[in-house]
Amino acid sequence: MNPGSRHTNLVRHALVTVRQWFDSDYFPEGAEAVRERPDRFEPRRALPFVFLHVGCLGVIWVGWSWTAVIVAAALYWIRMFAITGFYHRYFSHRTFRTSRAGQFAFAALGNLAVQRGALWWASVHRHHHKHADTEHDVHSPGLRGFIWAHIGWMTSSRNFPTNYGAIRDLAKFPELVFLNRFDLVVPAVYAAGLYGVGELLRVAAPQLATSGAQLLVWGFFVSTVVLLHGTLFINSMAHAFGSRRFATRDDSRNNFLLALITLGEGWHNNHHRFMGAARQGFYWWEIDPTYYGLKMLSWTGLIWDLKSVPLSVYAEAEAQPRHAKAA
């Protein structure tokens, strides 16, 4: 290849990449062709993650305030609930029901987490359950290592297209497809809103010692990066460290620490045994804040028909040898 052709290809790839940041369904060669590419690390796919992590360095210039730290923490928990309760337990597994307006609102709230669209998230997760810890699983620590399972798989372009065939029940709603396709719209509005609120507080409430730039760095960059890794630990740590109550065909583990930082998602072996339940902490002592939140939402009528754990699954758990439960 001559230098001119190489330069043209680099420019073309750069333009395609930039357009895909704004339109995640744009694939000139077709989504199926992209999914056939080798599974490998690609620097251009890593740029969004580099951007988020570098943005955290802004704390050096904007400093900190209790206002900014509290906002960052609150937004972490709110958006973690949006991921665990809506992206995971609703869109991926349909463990409860809601209205069409409700699911649109839930998809938009999940977009705030900057983990792409609800349909992409659900399609990847359904694929994971179908092929967990086999050669077809895109993020199994037992196959390609901890780092790849944690975040490396997200830097491979073959995992970028949304497999709409795996989520036909959701893809029939054009409003959900829109949020999924243009998944940067909500995060952009979210970031701009944080900056605007911070500037308003700087002028109207100077005693809070914050500003637009400070709320942007803490509420968007810092909070989002911590949230991202907290979520991704379920792909990596929850398949490597913890106990196994059920002898599932995968390496899923129950991990109390992960349950704390992910609002109950750490009871991963429970979840892999029966993914259709709205609760993942099968027993009262297994803390599951996401389930508590969903239960309270059901009292308002916004959601209903929360699916429970079958008695047969509890019987299976009780029949396990004592050493197996504590393993």
Residue ranges of domains in the chain: 3-326
Q: How far apart are CA 250 and CA 134, in angstroms?
A: 8
Q: What is the DSSP letter of 216?
A: I
pLDDT of residue 314: 96
Q: Are 157 and 34 in contact (CB under 8 A)?
A: yes
Residues 6+ apart with CB under 8 A from 108: 179, 186
pLDDT tens digits along 17-42:
778 778 899 888 888 998 999 899 99
Tell me the C-alpha to C-alpha distance, in Å, between residue 196 and each of 68, 110, 188.
Answer: 14, 21, 12
50 burial level (CB within 10 Å; 0-12, 13-18, 19+) = exposed
Model pLDDT, residue 2: 59
Beta-bridged to residue 303, according to DSSP, are 98
Which pLDDT score is estimated for 326? 44
Q: Which residue has the tokens 């339109």?
A: 23
End-to-end CA gap in the chain? 57
pLDDT value, residue 16 = 73
Q: How far apart are alpha carbons 154 and 296 in whole angstroms?
A: 34
pLDDT in tens, 136-162: 999 999 888 999 999 999 999 999 999
Task: Please report, as a single letter, which amino acid is at residue 48.
Answer: P
Give me the torsion for CA of 291, 296, 300, 301, rounded to 10°.
Answer: 20
Report the alpha-carbon distance of residue 29 to residue 32 in Å, rounded: 8
Residue 323: per-residue pLDDT: 45
Phi/psi at 198 (nearest 5 deg)? -60, -40
Handedness of CA 169, 167, 235, 217 (dihedral sign): negative
> Which conformational region is residue 305 in: left (phi greater than 0), alpha (psi within -120 to 50 degrees), or beta?
left
Q: Which two tokens stand for residue 51?
A: 């951007």
Instruction: Report the SS3 class of residue 254.
Output: strand
pLDDT at 5: 59
Query: Which residue shows structure tokens 């000139």?
Result: 28
Question: CA 45, CA 155: separation in Å to the nearest integer?
Answer: 5
Pairwise CA distance, residues 240 & 267, whole Å: 13
Cβ-based burial of 85 (10 A; exposed 0-12, middle 13-18, buried ≥19): buried
Residues of the chain with pLDDT under 70: 1-14, 322-327
Amino acid at site 313? V
Nearest-CA neighbor of 106 among 128, 130, 122, 127? 122
